[in-house]
Amino acid sequence: MGNIATNFNEQIKRLSDRGMELDYENDKIKEILLDIGYYRLGFYWNPFEKDDKHNFQEGTKFSDAVTLYYLDVDLRNLLLKYINRIEINFRTKLVYYVSNKYKNSPTWFIDPKVMNSHFVSEIDKHYNQSFIKNNKTILQHHRNNINDRYAPAWKTLEFFTFGTSLKIFKCLNENEIKEKISNEYGILNLNKFINLMETIVFVRNTCAHGGVLFDFQTPKGIALLPHVSFNNNNRHSLDSAIKITLCMLKIISENRKNQLEQSLSKLFNKHKANGTIKSIIENKIGYQY
């Protein structure tokens, strides 16, 4: 878009001049641009551009960019719902097993006998005045226990992010509990388990922060499991990350796993008749019909 703001008429003319077929009435296009935004929609017409001047391939439709945007929204909401189940399950196991092993250390997440000293030294990044004020359960704990510097782990970790919970898991000094939790998800190799959980956290964060999903790629290759095959052996695609999510979800609840699988199939099949979107689902997301 450059460094100068443009109005609706200028934005519509720019799209037309670059070869986009504006297959909605102008008022509808303006409504969409005001709702979603020209800049954000740009992520969804980007795959239809044919050169570095942002000209569009012949036959590119405005409606296809909008459809791709809403596919992304639906996919984001769907994945967040089910990854939340994995997050809660993982956090519950972490808190239960560590708290019961170290019964005399209710704030074991800052105990150097339990945790890596590096994490303990950086606890203020996670547990600070902002954290206390923004979580009323933690705030109430400190009002009721004015001498406590931290609330017990079973309260505190409830309000830490999925990523922070995973970081705490990785920073435990002893491997015994880490291996126990990993084994409960059916994964005997601890490093492989951490890789897979990092993948799920990365998907979760992308969804939670409004990231674009159709061209999602994991920064690390996803660890291989003997019973999971990745389409085209792509260890970075969203489809491969979804397969790992389904794998973890199945351990927690077969019904939830089936629900997510069916919902994804329904969502992708909804767009099967649109050749343009179907091609993106297959070639970008990595899903195979």
Per-residue pLDDT tens over the stretch 90-100: 999 999 999 99
Question: Do both 103 and 35 map to the same domain?
Answer: no
Name which of 84, 42, 188 is nearest 196 in CA terms. 188
- Which residues form the domain of 157? 69-285
pLDDT at 2: 60
Half-sphere exposure (CA, 13 Å, Cβ side) for 135? Answer: 20
Is residue 161 classed exposed, middle or buried when 0-12, 13-18 and 19+ CB atoms within 10 A define those classes? middle
pLDDT at 60: 97
pTM attached to this predicted model: 0.94
Question: Do both 145 and 73 map to the same domain?
Answer: yes
50, part of any domain: yes
Question: Do both 38 and 145 map to the same domain?
Answer: no
Average pLDDT over residues 266-277: 97
Q: Is 37 left (phi over 0), alpha (psi -120 to 50) or beta?
A: left
246, part of any domain: yes
pLDDT at 226: 92
Question: Do both 125 and 240 map to the same domain?
Answer: yes
pLDDT in tens, 220-251: 999 999 999 999 999 999 999 999 999 999 99
**Sign of the C-alpha dihedral, residues 184, 188, 190, 196?**
negative
Question: Based on C-alpha coordinates, what's the Rg of the chain?
Answer: 23
Question: Do both 104 and 216 map to the same domain?
Answer: yes
Question: Do both 39 and 180 map to the same domain?
Answer: no
pLDDT at 3: 73
Q: What tokens were used for 148? A: 């406590």
pLDDT at 93: 98
Question: Do both 56 and 106 map to the same domain?
Answer: no
Question: Do both 96 and 56 map to the same domain?
Answer: no
45, 108, 109, 123, 174 from 113: Cα distances, Å: 53, 8, 10, 15, 9
6, part of any domain: no
**Alpha helices per DSSP H over 145-237:** 153-156, 162-170, 175-184, 190-208
175, part of any domain: yes
pLDDT at 280: 97
10, part of any domain: no
**Amino acid letter for position 252:** I
Q: Is 2 left (phi over 0), alpha (psi -120 to 50) or beta?
A: left
247, part of any domain: yes
7, part of any domain: no
Predicted confidence (pLDDT) at residue 18 exceeds the cutoff of 70: yes
With contact defined as beta carbons under 8 Å apart, do 164 and 126 qualify? yes
Per the structure, how many domains does the chain have? 2
> Which of 30, 60, 90 is at the close of a domain?
60
Question: Do both 164 and 278 map to the same domain?
Answer: yes
Predicted confidence (pLDDT) at residue 123 exceeds the cutoff of 90: yes
